[in-house]
Amino acid sequence: MCTSAQVTLAHHSLGGEFDTRKTLVLTGVVSHVEWANPHIYIDLDVTDASGKVATWHLECVPVAMARKAGVSMKMLMGNGDRVTVNAFPARDGTAQLGFMAKITYPDGHHFQFAQDTPAPQGK
């Protein structure tokens, strides 16, 4: 049981910053976890076919939510293995900025932070 940070639930909507109708699938290595509020951020180094590395900055849940779920900074880091991340891109067009809906590690275990199935449109 975690008693840490009270989460002030007055925040912007996820959809106000990220396009939750689009899910990007990124493969890379977690190079840094910023264990901070109001949101944890991870840096994901993604290498393209030419060998060029681009670092994605991916927002995640608040620390209290991660702690309640038993997910620690070390667990998010993994062991330097390649991971797969499902992410929502930033709506303002900022490159390599997204929300991490799900991160999957080489052995198949994963942490899910948002429903990554595209929402139905037209309603």
Partner 1 sequence: MSLRHWGSLTLAAAAIGMLAIQPGGALAAGEEPAAQKPVPRLSDGHPDLNGTWDNGSGIDFVQPQKSADGSVCIAGCQPVAAAPPPRPPPPSGRTPAANFPHYRPQFLAKVKDLDKRQVEADPVLRCKNPGLPRIGPPDKIVQAPGQMVFLYDDVSGAFWRIIPMDGRPHRTDVDPSYLGDSVGHWEGDTLVIDANQFNDDSWLTDNGAFHTADMHVTERLHRVGDVIEWQVTVEDPKVLQEAWQPRMRIAKLTSSELAEPTPCVDRDLKHLVDDSHHPNPR
Where on the chain is the footprint of partner 1 (CB under 8 A)? 1-17, 20, 34-39, 41, 57, 59, 61-71, 90-92, 94, 97, 101, 107-116
Nearer to partner 1, 7 or 46 (CB): 7
Q: Least distance in Å: CB of 117 to partner 1? A: 8
Nearer to partner 1, 26 or 40 (CB): 40
Long-range contacts of 119-122 (CB under 8 A, 24+ apart): 119/20, 119/21, 121/21
Nearer to partner 1, 16 or 52 (CB): 16
Q: Least distance in Å: CB of 48 to partner 1? A: 24
Q: Least distance in Å: CB of 28 to partner 1? A: 20
Answer yes or no: are the C-beta atoms of 31 and 58 closer than 8 Å: no
CA distances from 68 to 12, 72, 97 (A): 22, 10, 26
Report the C-alpha gap between 18 and 16 in whole angstroms. 6
